Amino acid sequence: MFVNISNVDFPDSVASSFTVFNKGMRKKETRLFNIKGPGVGDTTKFSRTAGTIGKLGFNDVTTAVNVGSMAEQYLQNNSLELPSYLEVLKDRINPVLEVTIDGRYIFDGDFVAANPLIKIMLHDNNQLLQLKDTTGLSVLMSYPCEKNTCPKTRINFSRSDVKWRVIGDALVIEFTPKDLKEGTYVLYVDGKDVSGNPIGPVPYQVSFVVDRDPGVIFYAPYPNPSVSGFNFDFDVTGEGAPDDFMLSIIDRNGRDVAHFTGDDVSNLRVGLNQLHWSGLDSHGSRLAEGLYLYLLVVKTPDREFKNSGRIMIVR
């Protein structure tokens, strides 16, 4: 606030200044503005906003009123000096990287379709320094080759099969390579936020396999025996996702006590598919303790793959 302690009114508009001096970079930023001139004994209140970008560390803040608008006998009491008043802290929080292929998180050696959707999301919660472009992101991929270590190819964001956009606090990359040949690929992603914080100590890296030959690899249900349910996992290879699947739980009398189809699974895909059965029958009742059979059928356009076995419910 600026108080007029004299016996003379100030003019309607009084030129003023606001200065922020960064001690580390020795950089000064001054902004000029006008305030309402106070009458005799009156007070004019005003406020200023200081941006913090480029002002890391301690900053001196100075504001001055009546910088040339009106002659005064003394000007010393027209300024307010605040040494090291504004401290700007460095953003030290790492951004978060999220990578999915065809809507799922994959592990090393997982199977992937020949025409996958590779989605990369770099999240940063800093609302003042938001991600605006692809400057801080790097994507590379090694393609199958005859060497033990295949060379890395940079995936340029100008490619026709790459799209990027900013959604909220995330930079989103969608990479849709076409007709990948069979073999093992390795995807590398490195990223940092606007402040330079990396995604972690090392870049993200994952390998995946493209196998165009249709097939299904079944895994044994687990845990088995179980008290509360079973997981049925299977890997699918080939160029496309299965058309349908069916899981039947059969008791000792040959009755189908629980039945599941593709309608009960959110998304069948090339690669790892997972289904959890809670141990309840088709009516939602808990099955009795004992031995049961299961039949798992996965259907592709050309073939039908079956797997069966035993599971034990214990109490």
Number of folded domains in the chain? 3
Looking only at the bridges linking them, the beta strands covering 110-111 and 204-210 are parallel
Residues 119 and 194 in one domain: yes
Please say whether the beta carbons of 134 and 164 come within 8 A.
Answer: yes
Same domain, 119 and 196: yes
- Cα dihedral across residues 300, 301, 303, 304: positive or negative: positive
Least confident of 68-82, 137-151, 283-297: 68-82
For the segment 164-177, what is each residue's pLDDT rounded down to a tens digit? 999 999 999 999 99
- Rg of the chain over Cα atoms, rounded to whole angstroms, equals 33
Q: In this model, does residue 315 exceed pLDDT 90?
A: no
How far apart CA 35 and CA 106 sit, in angstroms, is 61
| Cα distances (Å, whole numbers) of residue 22 to 91, 195, 254 | 17, 18, 81
189 with 244, same domain: the answer is: no
At residue 196, φ and ψ (nearest 5 deg) are 95, 5
Residue 297: domain span: 215-313
Q: What is the pLDDT of residues 255-267, one digit of tens each?
A: 999 998 887 777 8
Does the predicted model carry a pTM greater than 0.85?
no
Q: Which residues of 81-108 are buried (b: 16+ CB within 10 A; e: fewer)?
A: eeeeebebeebeebbbbebebbeeebee
Same domain as 153, residue 187: yes
Q: Per DSSP, what are the bridge partners of residue 15?
A: 34
Is residue 69 very low, low, confident or very high in pLDDT (cuts 50, 70, 90)? Answer: low
101 and 204 in a single domain? The answer is yes
* Final residue of a structural domain among 26, 56, 88: 88
Residue at a domain's end among 88, 115, 147: 88
pLDDT at residue 145, as a whole number: 92
The CATH code of the domain that includes 146 is 2.60.40.1220
Instruction: Give 140's strand partners.
Output: 154, 188
One domain, residues 161 and 100:
yes
Residues 228 and 296 in one domain: yes
Rounded Cα distance between 93 and 148, Å, is 37
Comparison of pLDDT for 99 and 228, the residue scoring more: 99
pLDDT of residue 226: 94
Q: Supply the CATH number for residue 75's domain.
A: 2.60.40
Question: How does the average pLDDT of the chain come out, rounded?
Answer: 92
Specify whether 136 is located in the same domain as 197. yes
Q: For 95-104, 105-114, 275-284, which range has the lowest pLDDT when averaged over its residues?
A: 275-284
pLDDT at 74: 76
Same domain, 255 and 285: yes
End-to-end CA distance of the chain: 76
pLDDT in tens, 200-223: 999 999 999 999 898 999 999 999
List the structure tokens of 53. 């970008």
Q: Same domain for 206 and 221?
A: no
Verify that 229 and 304 share a domain, yes or no.
yes
**CA–CA distance, 147 with 153 (Å, rounded to integer):** 15
Which of the listed residues 33, 57, 88 is the one where a domain comes to its end? 88
Instruction: Verify that 112 and 204 share a domain, yes or no.
Output: yes
* Strand locations in 108-198 (E): 110-111, 118-123, 137-142, 152-154, 162-167, 170-175, 183-191
DSSP state of 132: -
